[in-house]
Structure 1
Amino acid sequence: MSEAGNEGESGATLVEGPDTVEDLQRRVRRLRRRLKTAESEVRRVRSGLSEARHDLPATVERTIEQVVAERLSFLGEHHLRNLATVVSDLELAGVPGIMIEAGTARGGSAIVIAAAKAAQRPLVVYDVFDTIPAPGEQDGEDVHDRYRTIAAGEARGLDGEVYYGYREDLHAEVRESFARLGVTVEEHAVELVKGLFEDTVHPQGPVAFAHLDGDWYDSTMVCLERIAPRLSVGGRLVIDDYYNWSGCRRAVDDYFEGRQGFELRERAKLHVVRTTP
């Protein structure tokens, strides 16, 4: 509040009292929201500047346009271009290893990754291809609220479409989407692996790139524990939900706390780069 006084009818100066604790708390919350918005905008602009310096092949641009038009990803065009740019840069740099997506929903981001990488480089896509597993004790209330909505059958897809977790035979649907967009799994060395991450994610060789979209704590942590040690120098993890869900953020913070050889870079999504063996 302003500390300037107001003149009353008597001519006396009425001085407003100090802010209450509740007033200060509200102001802090508003400032935090503004700061979060500003930080997000800075990340978006930085990422956009990086992408502006990198022209993607016309085939990749068309794939991104199709994915957006068919609503095959919760990621917007900006984020999809960022993924494609990272993949293209890794190819140009010759970073060795397979590529991974852990959590694909309707397959849109995986299709973009497959289109941007070299056709012969393997891409392994892990997902339950069903309703997302329940969160655990390490996840915050935001996560549990979201899961209650999903479990109740009340979640909605983009533009009110059927939520991906409620679709019948999502595995077959994703495979068909790859083919329909001209990025067949056979011709682009893509493997779609169905099951829980804890049962399926076991990369055996080097990893050049991984897009981690597991949402919750446990699913994110198991991917980090099994993929990050195999990440090649110069390789990159893109953590989809670090800024969105408390469980994912906590898993990343817990895993990388005090860990050497990795650099966390704030972009439109959180990027983790392997800097030393």
Structure 2
Amino acid sequence: MNLPETTPNTDTLRQMYLDLLKRSLLNLIYFDNELRLIYLQQVIKNKQPIDPGILRDIRYRTQNYADLLSLRTAGRNFSGQIPQFSHSLIGLPRMENIQHCAEIIFKEKIPGDFMETGVWQGGATIFMRALLKVYGEDIDRCVWAADSFEGLPKPQVPQDETYDLSASKFPFLAIGLEAVRDNFRTYNLLDDCVKFLKGWFEETLPNAPIKRLALLRLDGDLYKSTLDALNPLYDKVSPGGFIIIDDYYAFEPCKQAVDEFRASRNIIEPMTEIDWTGVFWRKSY
């Protein structure tokens, strides 16, 4: 039997690739393996025998598998998780928000690069690079990944004093530059279109060679880190561009910094909720 020849729609193929990439970055595809290691850690700690059947059928043996998968999809933490399995912890709604903003930028031809301040394993910026590539927008745009690549700084201002997220307390947040570069390379997305800014925001961002931004995503968690990014970068966002705040509701210092900055600059554009923590707004023309 001869099957009719069909040519897949370009947009369909593009969306299938982006959907697969999002799920891969969030470790939704091989989530079982993370649960297997969690199980092994538990039995070793409790000096129990390993059950090969549980290892084989972990998703059917884990009582709350659906709940854990739902938490990971939403970008929420759960007890015993192994964060390093994911290249991003922002969850599917915030990942889809990046795509939503990018597609508007492409359609309306808003000029400027894409940037994230605070990249962890690089997942969100890897996705940004993929968006530029599949839409053919990487000729005049690039992706900026700004991070200390040594973890978060210790609290330096009163607003952050009860939020010590530094490497001494949370070593899994301290992902080195070469590890992030390797993650880009894993997805075949490491090229000259990706620019890395290594160092503390207060030192690197004021003099960063960035002309214009169409998309600015902040994931610095802390009050000082948030302002250290907004103060030098906001004016570089093109009219019609987007500002995304990852931790607005998750960390009070971040929310305070954003609210104070918007008030000081008389920013009246409404913020839109993305999910349980993220918000974004569009800079007016």
User: If the length of structure 2 is used for normalisation, what is the TM-score?
Assistant: 0.67
Task: State the Cα deviation string for residues 191-234 of structure 1 (Å, max 9, x = none).
Answer: 11111111111354221111101111111102111111121111
Letter in 2 for 1:242: Y
Distance 1:204 1:173, change over 3 A: closer
Letter in 2 for 1:259: R
Map of 1:241 onto structure 2: 247
Structure 1 unaligned segments of length 5 or more: list them.
Answer: 1-53, 156-161
Distance across 2 between alignment mates of 1:72 and 1:191? 18
Letter in 1 for 2:283: R
Structure 2 counterpart of 1:191, from 186, 192, 195 = 195
Structure 2 counterpart of 1:68, from 26, 36, 43 = 26
Map of 1:4 onto structure 2: none
Structure 2 counterpart of 1:82, from 79, 87, 97 = 97
Structure 2 counterpart of 1:163, from 169, 172, 175 = 172
Structure 2 counterpart of 1:222, from 228, 235, 252 = 228
Cα RMSD (Å) of the superposition?
Answer: 2.2
Distance across 2 between alignment mates of 1:252 and 1:180? 34
Structure 2 counterpart of 1:267, from 248, 269, 273 = 273
Map of 2:54 onto structure 1: none
Distance across 2 between alignment mates of 1:205 and 1:172? 26
Maintained 8 Å contact 2:152/2:173: no
What is the percent sequence identity of the aligned residues?
A: 25
Maintained 8 Å contact 1:203/1:226: no
Distance 1:221 1:127, change over 3 A: same
Distance across 2 between alignment mates of 1:92 and 1:68? 27
1:68 positional shift: 1.4
Distance across 2 between alignment mates of 1:204 and 1:71? 29
Letter in 1 for 2:255: R
Distance across 2 between alignment mates of 1:123 and 1:151? 26
Task: Verify: 1:253 aligned to 2:259, yes or no.
Answer: yes
> 256-265 or 215-224: which moved more?
256-265
Letter in 1 for 2:236: R
Map of 2:184 onto structure 1: 178
How many equivalent pairs are there? 207
Map of 2:128 onto structure 1: 113
Distance 1:163 1:275, change over 3 A: same
Map of 1:96 onto structure 2: 111
4+ long deviations beyond 3 Å = 150-153
Letter in 1 for 2:18: V
Higher Rg of the two aligned structures: 1
Distance across 1 between alignment mates of 2:181 and 2:269? 34
Distance 1:191 1:237, change over 3 A: same
Letter in 2 for 1:96: P
Task: State the Cα deviation string for residues 122-163 of structure 1 (Å, max 9, x = none).
Answer: 11110011121112324256524xx3xx5544x3xxxxxx71
Distance across 1 between alignment mates of 2:239 and 2:251? 28
Structure 1 counterpart of 2:151, from 128, 131, 140 = 131
Task: State the Cα deviation string for residues 101-131 of structure 1 (Å, max 9, x = none).
Answer: 1000011111111111222311111001112
Structure 1 counterpart of 2:16, from 54, 58, 62 = 58
1:264 positional shift: 3.1
